[in-house]
Copies of this chain bind each other. A is one copy, B any other.
Amino acid sequence: MADEKLKNGCVGIAQINLIAGNLEYNAKKIVKYIKEAQDKELDLVVFPEFALSGYGLDDAVKKFPIIAEENKKWLEEIAKITTKTTALVGFIDTENYSSVAVLSGGKIQKIIRKSVLSDNITVVNGVKYFINAGDNYKNAEISEKPDVFINCSACPSIIQEEKSKNDILSNIAKKYSVPVIYVNQVGATDNYSFDGASRVFDKNGQLSVCAKSFEEDFMVVNPQKDSVCSVSEFQSYNAENKSFSLDYEDDMERTYKTVIQGVKDYFGKTGFKKAVLGLSGGLDSTVCAVILAEALGSENVFGVSMPSKITSDQSKSDAQILAQNLGIGFAVAPIKDMVETTNNSLQSLFNGVEQFWDNRYSQSFTMDNIQARSRAMLLWGVSNEFGSCLPIATSDKSEAYMGYATINGDMSGGFAPIADITKTKLFALARWLNKNGKIKNAIPQSVIEKRPGAELAIDPKTGKPLCAEDALMPYEFLDEIIWRIENKKESYNDMLESQFLYEKEHDVSKEQKIQWLDKFYRRMSTALYKKSILPPFVIVDSPSYDYKQPITSSRINYKGTPQEIIAEKLKV
């Protein structure tokens, strides 16, 4: 097949991993693939959107115009090597932000701007290419029929959009009866983990070629000649028609690769090599440890068991066994002394404050939080004392929604690997990792089986550590609320009226359901502040990347108000 392709109309698709703002690094990578394309005598080589600049510099170029000026200078030098093959390179244009440069004959021949949908045609070796950038494919209106449609993209791994993106690209092919090339970034920039999976559709809208997911790839295609391929790496998961399920199996590989790439690239691109994390013997820290060991190498991960008097023996031994299984560093650092000393200092201070304020709580979470904060203090200490080392925030998505995490405690760290994965999905991921991870069965079975709890306080009723589900609600129920909001945009009343998976298996009274829903919205509203100071995390499941909501919007009435009540409230 390779030989046959080396003729008129052959295109190289360079699916590359870039560093935001590191022009030298990115330019050298682009040059490497242009040379490869020229060696192969291809007509064209196509790079992703923002290939030269890297992703996410919208604000930075406005504040530091030199970033755009410089990337133009590098572009000019890159152009000089295009002696045989034409190159399409995504970059930041000073005035128009996302743009694609057409480089050939040693020069920048043309600049195609994302915001402009005219003059997008370039002819190479008799083949007419229509070129556009970013999510502009969504409103592609082509006035003059080309031979091939090209979209240079930077599209993160977002499961909710995968199907619609694929449909739109396929429909463009069908509508204009032209092959479509979609070239995507791979690699992660902070929260955004780009999945690659660049692809070609034939003129009937059938997928004919697909690049690897979550890996750099260089493919030679002939879009006018390629025939239909089987979908392999390309994700076939379709969120649209699904209902909530605890069987996450068909999205597990994507989840795993998204997180691993996110961790690897955040550390690699910021220059950090090592991670230190608390190992509580619970699910969250356990899954984080496995992910870190795989992404950074076991020799670069250190786990610290920091038991308090509430910590069970099972938890302590689970932490140690996990560390042994993974081959990561391990130490025990009891926090008893720190907690006691802090508590003593605080009690004297509280006495002072009580002289001035009379609003002391009769019951508070102060002691629980001191434990979590003492642990974070130790982890940040290790990070300060040892080179190139980041502490890890182990909060998961269910907890982040509920604000069930301690500020300057377990939610504090240089990076939060699992902050966009719900608890029930983490259980599934733990099982999956035991089966498919680099080290099989690293996670002790008891971790996967026990009920999750922060082990910060004793339930006065049972004398045992309080479980998270007692303080919140069953995770199955909680995670389904999150899933319905994020995937179906369901409202409070939609959810009240439909049956949850949990309700199929358990008896839930209407009062109980209302109580859980109320608790969810109330806690979510007061957790807005905590979410605003979460460390960078990998976006895995959130449908909108940069979600931002005013902390002062905590009084939104998500239940809604009947029209007649509104009328009444406005009568004075």
Contacts and interface: CB of A to CB of B under 8 A. Distances in A.
Interface of A: 19-25, 27-28, 31, 35, 54-60, 62-67, 69-70, 73-74, 76-78, 80-81, 188-190, 265-266, 269-271, 274, 276, 302, 304, 329-335, 337-338, 340-342, 344-346, 348-350, 352-353, 355-357, 359-361, 364-366, 369-370, 373-374, 376-378, 380-382, 384-389, 407-408, 412, 414, 485-486, 489, 491-492, 529, 532-536, 544, 546-558, 560-561, 563, 566-567, 569-570, 572
B338 A57 contact: no
A80 B189 contact: no
Nearest to A414: B529
A552 B353 contact: no
A317 to B, nearest CB: 18
B270 A21 contact: no
A359 B388 contact: yes
A342 B388 CA distance: 22
Contacts of A492: 66
Given A348-B333, A567-B77, A376 B557 contact: no
A547 B59 contact: yes
Contact of A54 (B35, B70, B338, B553): B553
Contacts of A349: 304, 331, 333, 378, 381-382
Contacts of A572: 31, 35
A386 B357 contact: yes
Contact of A384 (B70, B357, B365, B567): B365
Copies in the complex: 2
A412 B406 CA distance: 13
Contacts of A69: 560
A443 to B, nearest CB: 21
A190 B563 contact: no
A270 B560 CA distance: 20
Given A189-B552, A333-B352, 17 more contacts: A19-B552, A27-B569, A56-B550, A56-B553, A62-B544, A67-B556, A77-B570, A81-B570, A270-B529, A333-B348, A335-B345, A341-B341, A369-B381, A369-B384, A370-B381, A408-B412, A529-B536
B20 A553 contact: yes
Contact of A533 (B387, B533, B569): B533
19 contacts: A23-B561, A24-B557, A25-B555, A28-B570, A58-B548, A59-B548, A60-B550, A63-B486, A66-B558, A77-B567, A78-B570, A81-B570, A188-B552, A270-B551, A329-B352, A349-B378, A353-B386, A365-B384, A536-B551
Given A62-B544, A329-B356, A549 B77 contact: no
B555 A65 contact: no
Contacts of A377: 342, 370, 373, 377, 408
Nearest to A356: B329
Nearest to A568: B77
Contacts of A266: 551-552
Given A331-B349, A359-B388, A361-B386, A552 B380 contact: no
Contacts of A67: 556
A355 B361 CA distance: 44
Nearest to A54: B553
A569 B74 CA distance: 10
Contacts of A384: 364-366, 369
Contacts of A25: 555
A549 B60 contact: yes
Contacts of A567: 77, 80
Contacts of A485: 63-64
A158 to B, nearest CB: 14
A358 to B, nearest CB: 9
Nearest to A406: B380
Contacts of A55: 550
> What 7 A-B pairs come out closest when comparing CB atoms?
A331-B352, A329-B356, A21-B556, A269-B552, A21-B553, A20-B553, A359-B387
A150 B557 CA distance: 31
Contacts of A348: 333
Given A64-B556, A346-B381, A373-B377, A561 B22 contact: no
Contacts of A81: 570
Nearest to A61: B549
